[in-house]
Amino acid sequence: MGGVYQLVAPASDGGVLLQRLDRACAPAGPARTVSGSGFAELVRQVDAREHPRWVWQRTSDWYPRLLAAGVEVERCHDLTLSAAILAHSSYTAGSGYTPSIPVGSLLDEPDAGRGAWPAQHQDALFEARPTGVGADAATAELAAQLAAVAASPRRQRLALLLAAESAGALAAAEMQHSGVPWDAAVHDALLAERLGPRPQGTARPALLEAKAAELRDLLGAPRLNPDSPQELIRALHRAGIEANTTRAWELRRFTHPAVAPLLEYKKMARLLAANGWSWLDTWVSDGRFRPEYVVGGVVTGRWASRGGGAMQIPAEVRSAARAHPGHRLIVADASQLEPRVLAALAADEAMAGAARGRDLYAGIAAAGFGGDRAQAKVALLGAIYGATTGESGRLMPQLTRLYPRAVALVEQAARDGERGLTVTTHLGRSTPPPSPRWLASQRTTSAQEQHRADAIARDRGRFTRNFVVQGTAAEWAECWMADLRGRLRRIRSHGRRAELVYFLHDEVVVHAEDAVAEECAAAVQDAAKTAGRLLFHGAPVEFPLSVAVVESYDRAK
């Protein structure tokens, strides 16, 4: 975390204050105050000359205005994201660190994170008065964070985590600014084919209404609104379908002729609600889908999104995610990331060997499940996610015999969680402590209360069991993306177009010129190798990727 720091904070006169800091967080020169319009140009000059680590309270408050002016920065330190990690990390226990700035998630702030400003609003972006803590408070917070890292017995891991999280914040803003190439005409045609032409107002599209009419006829309910769960349940019961819910898995238990049309209606209605014309109008502009990412929005460190469904682009509309002429999409996803992370975390050489050069589940199946890949997958995912009853529970003893170190790691995490203890990822993200309500639930005075307390404890154990694996996988993915971001910057430095446009847990999408598409594909692979070395140097675990160079997103799957 060393090097030159450049602090960015709001100035008292409504401008922007820049202060160069040394490694001890002391001023290393006079502070400079510039207007909002001069901010981007000064950052461009300083970044090119000094290659500093930019320090600001939140990347989402400052970086979008730089991107709107065509300015990218190499690296930063996001005080808010770092504070959220350090506040709970077991790696800083005893350091005395307490955040002096708010650490709430952007998910809690309905107006935050909107970095993809249309061109007509960019002037307003620069005229907006900067917000956040002042320079003195930000400098003090930075000093406290660096001191907490320096005092940690795991300082190298923590420093890597903070750097990766901050790089993720830069990448999130850049992806929102650039957006996924999206063909609105293709999307509209897909909707028309599936649902019927775009209707006026709030009317149902023709094909969806026809399906609703078919459903009314089969259920003998001429006035049924199939979008109302209450009306639908009553109509189902009148027709002799004694379902308790309208969930697909329960409806499939019945053989009534209305079930298949109902399931089809629900699928069509879900497409309309999640990715219909309203979605297209809201989230696609100038040929790009610009989702709003929330870095660290999930407690494990996984990203979330604020609207737009960035964490899941349905297969039905993926063909609309289409490279521009003369470009390609490079789509890469890490194969079986979480199980491989478990093998590395546990230093389970037997499991690592089962995954070497092949499908992990097939390797496990060959080692002890009679070649039955499905059984091997059920057993391993049951161990990771806590499904240790039923089929998973039956297979668990065999998995334990094969891979005792891996199973022991998740079992210990579960037991610790049940006892109210903290568990921590490889780089240092820890679970928040149990809430007072949880602690109170464990103080029981009767057999009935004890039964409930045990169930609540087991729920937390299932959470902590998966937290260690999923959280470490999120760390691997951020390191992967951070390294890839640097490689793409170097490609762009030679005048070629190559941009990271989409990220989903263990998957990235790059949009690049034809001439550098294969170079970008190699960069994606090399970045994954770097991430593996950074987290698990010397571990015999492979993190293979599936990489496709395609014209549209659907062709990669």
All structural domains of the chain, each given as residue ranges with its CATH number in brackets, are 1-178 (3.30.420), 184-281 (no CATH), 340-469 (1.10.150)
CA–CA separation, 367 vs 486, rounded Å? 40
Cβ proximity of 543 and 337 under 8 Å: yes
- Ranking 260-264, 343-347, 432-436, 519-523 by mean pLDDT, the lowest is 432-436
Instruction: Summarize pLDDT for 28-47 with one digit per residue, the tens.
Output: 999 999 988 899 999 999 99
The confidence score (pLDDT) of residue 449 equals 83
- φ and ψ of 530, to 5 deg: -60, -45
pLDDT of residue 276 exceeding 70: yes
Structure tokens at 253: 């238990």
Side-chain-facing half-sphere of 97: CA atoms under 13 Å: 28
What single-letter amino acid sits at 158? L
The confidence score (pLDDT) of residue 110 equals 41
Nearest partner of 321 among 459, 183, 211, judged by Cα: 183
Percent of the chain with pLDDT over 70: 94
The confidence score (pLDDT) of residue 3 equals 65
Mean pLDDT value across residues 390-415:
94
The confidence score (pLDDT) of residue 128 equals 52
Instruction: Summarize pLDDT for 433-448 with one digit per residue, the tens.
Output: 999 989 988 887 787 7
The confidence score (pLDDT) of residue 114 equals 36
CA 8, chain centre distance (Å): 26
Contacts (Cβ under 8 Å, ≥6 apart) of 97: 86, 87, 144, 145, 147, 148
The confidence score (pLDDT) of residue 444 equals 75
Q: Please state, rounded to an integer, the average pLDDT across all residues of the chain.
A: 92
The confidence score (pLDDT) of residue 258 equals 96
Q: How far, in Å, are 58, 247, 274, 401 from residue 112 at the CA level? A: 10, 34, 22, 50
pLDDT of residue 123 exceeding 50: no
pLDDT tier at 103 (50, 70, 90 boundaries)?
confident
Strand partners, 498: 512
CA–CA separation, 375 vs 377, rounded Å? 5
CA 406, chain centre distance (Å): 25
Nearest partner of 215 among 231, 191, 199, judged by Cα: 231
The confidence score (pLDDT) of residue 423 equals 97
Identify which has the larger pLDDT, 310 or 343.
343
Mean pLDDT value across residues 307-317:
87
pLDDT of residue 122 exceeding 50: no
pLDDT tier at 538 (50, 70, 90 boundaries)?
confident
Identify which has the larger pLDDT, 5 or 387.
5
Phi-psi region of 100 (alpha: psi -120 to 50; beta: other; left: phi over 0): alpha
Cβ proximity of 84 and 298 under 8 Å: no
CA–CA separation, 413 vs 464, rounded Å? 6
Cβ proximity of 535 and 427 under 8 Å: yes
- Ranking 218-222, 301-305, 309-313 by mean pLDDT, the lowest is 309-313
Mean pLDDT value across residues 142-170:
97
Cβ proximity of 484 and 500 under 8 Å: yes
pLDDT of residue 104 exceeding 80: no
Contacts (Cβ under 8 Å, ≥6 apart) of 178: 288, 499, 500, 501, 511
**Against a cut of 0.75, is the pTM above it?**
yes
Q: Which of 124-133, 282-291, 384-393, 443-452 has the highest mean pLDDT?
A: 282-291
Q: Which of 131-140, 177-186, 382-391 has the highest mean pLDDT?
A: 177-186
Mean pLDDT value across residues 240-259:
94
pLDDT of residue 118 exceeding 80: no
The confidence score (pLDDT) of residue 20 equals 95
Percent of the chain with pLDDT over 90: 83
Mean pLDDT value across residues 302-328:
92
pLDDT tier at 421 (50, 70, 90 boundaries)?
very high
SS3 of residue 129 by DSSP: coil
CA 305, chain centre distance (Å): 8
